[in-house]
């Protein structure tokens, strides 16, 4: 679980979040909000991005998240699927996974890991040479999203925050995404999945526990997924 109290995020003296209290328990949570409101910043601030100044408290499965370095947050089980991850020329997709698994204390088994990696890339329609492709170099938006999903599935974190995982995906890609997200959350009843999205079909196909709306540096949390449908009908102006 991930619980924030008096959580404030600032960048260049501008408040992205101000005194936010939210509680993401086990299950799937949707985070919505108008464009530019700072949803990605919320995810990055939790991950410990160097641009953000944070105060308040964030409890992450019993740990004080804000006291941890970025790599310690990852090792504690937090995963952020980025909207536009940086390209790293010279580092192959599989090498990256291998190093990430080792760093997270997962005993490497190259043969099994590669087999799992290739099965996932095959299912997601990425090329057969995807393991050798350089990380996020010359990749389309959709390919980057699929790659982030593969990383999440192979690292199997306690809590994943996915930033618009549906963008750039075609109909088959969305279907696969939904299937994989359901598999992920059903594999362990304590897992937390926070998805930043405005895609109605994705929300419809997932078993959503809560919908949170981010606006004016605040986050308001609503149980179930009804609030999302209200937003689809009426927009954010009435929230």
Partner 1 sequence: MSDRDRQLEYSLTELPDMMDLGIRQNMLSSKHKHLWPNAVSKFKKSIEERNPLNSYIHKNMNTAKISKHVNKTPIFNTVVAQYEDEYVGDWHISDGHIQLPMGNETWWGIKVLDEWTKMSSLKEYEPYFEPTGRISDFAFLNTTNPIGLRFDTGVTETCQVVFKEQLIDEDLSCINVIIDIGKNSNVTLEEFISPKIKGCKIIKITYLVRQGAKLEILRTGTPGDNSLTIVDSKFICFPDSDVIVQTKGKGSHYTQEFFDFDIYRSSRVCLDGRYNIKNENNNHVGVLVNHLENDSISNIDVKTVADGDSNSSFIGNIFVDKIARGTDAKLFNKNLLLSNKATAISEPQLDINTKDIECSHGCTVSNIDPHQLYLLNARGLDSQSARNTLKECFLNQ
Closest approach of Cβ 41 to partner 1, in Å?
14
Q: Which of 80, 169, 181, 219 binds partner 1 (CB under 8 A)?
A: 80
171 forms part of the interface with partner 1 (CB under 8 A):
no
Query: Which residues face 192 on adjacent strands?
Result: 27, 159
What does the alpha-carbon distance between residue 54 and residue 189 come to, in Å, rounded to a whole number?
Answer: 30
155 forms part of the interface with partner 1 (CB under 8 A):
yes
Q: Starting at the edge strand that comes first in sequence, how are the strands of the sheet with 208-215 ordered? A: 78-81, 159-163, 192-196, 27-32, 208-215, 218-223
11 forms part of the interface with partner 1 (CB under 8 A):
no
Which residue from 1, 60, 63 is spatially nearest to 26, judged by alpha carbons? 1
Helix (H, G, I), strand (E, B) or coil at 239: coil
Which residue from 129, 176, 170, 125 is spatially nearest to 153, judged by alpha carbons? 176
List the structure tokens of 110.
């190259």
Which of 24-32, 98-106, 112-120, 183-191 is the region at the interface with partner 1 (rule: CB under 8 A)?
98-106
Closest approach of Cβ 146 to partner 1, in Å?
16
Which residue from 35, 84, 69, 44 is spatially nearest to 194, judged by alpha carbons? 44
Cβ-based nearer residue to partner 1, 30 or 161: 161
Closest approach of Cβ 135 to partner 1, in Å?
8
108 forms part of the interface with partner 1 (CB under 8 A):
no
Closest approach of Cβ 16 to partner 1, in Å?
17
70 forms part of the interface with partner 1 (CB under 8 A):
yes
Contacts of partner 1 in 17-56 (CB under 8 A)? 47-50
Cβ-based nearer residue to partner 1, 28 or 150: 150
Q: Output helix, strand, coil percentages for the chain, rounded to the nearest 5.
A: 40, 30, 30
List the structure tokens of 188.
């362990």
- Interacting residues toward partner 1 by CB under 8 A: 47-50, 69-71, 73-75, 79-80, 82, 85-86, 88-91, 96, 99-100, 103-104, 151, 155
């Amino acid at each position: 679980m991930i619980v924030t109290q008096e959580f404030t995020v600032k960048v260049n003296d501008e408040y992205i979040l101000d005194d936010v209290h939210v509680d993401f328990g086990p299950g799937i949570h949707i985070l919505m909000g108008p464009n530019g409101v700072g949803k990605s910043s919320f995810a990055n601030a939790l991950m410990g991005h160097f641009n953000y100044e944070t105060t308040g408290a964030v409890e992450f499965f019993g740990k004080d998240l804000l006291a941890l370095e970025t790599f310690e947050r990852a090792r504690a089980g937090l995963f952020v699927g980025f909207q536009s991850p940086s390209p790293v020329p010279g580092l192959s997709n599989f090498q990256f996974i291998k190093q990430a698994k080792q760093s997270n204390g997962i005993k490497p088994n190259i043969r099994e890991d590669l087999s799992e990696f290739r099965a996932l890339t095959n299912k997601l329609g990425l090329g057969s040479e995807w393991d050798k492709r350089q990380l996020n170099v010359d990749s389309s938006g959709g390919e980057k999203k699929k790659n982030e999903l593969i990383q999440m599935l192979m690292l199997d974190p306690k809590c994943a925050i996915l930033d618009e995982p549906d963008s750039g995906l075609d109909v088959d890609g969305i279907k696969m995404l939904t299937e994989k997200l359901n598999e992920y959350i059903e594999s362990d009843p304590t897992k937390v999945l926070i998805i930043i999205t405005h895609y109605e079909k994705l929300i419809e196909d997932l078993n959503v526990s809560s919908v949170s709306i981010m606006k004016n540096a605040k986050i308001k949390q609503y149980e179930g997924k009804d609030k999302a449908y209200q937003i689809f009908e009426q927009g954010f102006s009435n929230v």
